[in-house]
Amino acid sequence: MVCVACTTYDFHDTAPLVSAVLTGSQPFSMASAPGTASFISQTPDNNTREIFWPSDSPSVSSAETCATWATQTNTLVQQGAALRIRTVTGGYRLVTVTKNIWLGALWIFNFHVWDTTQTPPFTLLGGVDLSSEFVLSGTTVYPPPWYFCARVYGSTLEFKAWRPGQAEPAYGDPHYGGAMTLPAGWSDPGATGWYIGHAPSTSEATFNDLVTRSP
């Protein structure tokens, strides 16, 4: 199991954050300080998907990543977590859990595996519907901040998400998260970080309380 006490990055860590573009024509503009990162989109095609992680992140196979999705100026900004980030010849391999934006169903959270040397670079493994906790009315979701953690160990990738005023839930609580079994071949260790994607041009988003942990 993941050691929840072994912090590898938080606001005490002055190591800079680094980033990599997974898809799209132009990276987001990132400004960061220990424990926080802000992004401004400068891309016209809304197809940029990017990961970011601490430059001193250890390469591990079991890890947890957490963040507060603090602000966004457009609901179509896609936030998430990235784990087992590994450089390969010509690209990256990693696993993610992200907020869905397809058809505006922002209350769904999706699991993907990524290999940017392939076409397409990602494979959708499945999703979890948390409309009971995140839909305010109709198709309108609660505004940020949202709190989010994801972890990976063995072949298990899981997450939990909750809102202000709610106690942090336990992993495995179906009201606040879900899990997916990774296919064979995705157990290699890598860095631990976060994900942002699809931010429309000039939109902005901020992640606070960035934390990573590992055994």
Domain assignment present for residue 27? The answer is: yes
Q: What residue type is 120 in one-letter code?
A: P
Over the stretch 26-81, which tens digit does the pLDDT of each residue have?
A: 899 999 999 999 999 988 878 999 999 999 999 999 999 999 999 999 999 999 99
Domain count, the chain: 1
**Residue 1 has what pLDDT?**
45
| 71-98 average pLDDT score | 98
Domain assignment present for residue 1? The answer is: no
Over the stretch 118-146, which tens digit does the pLDDT of each residue have?
A: 999 999 999 999 999 999 999 999 999 99
Domain assignment present for residue 54? The answer is: yes
CATH number of the domain residue 186 falls in: 2.60.120.200
**Residue 5 has what pLDDT?**
60
Structural domain for 25, as ranges: 7-213
The DSSP line for 182-203 is PPTT----BEEEEEEE-PPTT-
**Residue 93 has what pLDDT?**
98
How many CB atoms lie under 10 A from the CB of residue 94?
28
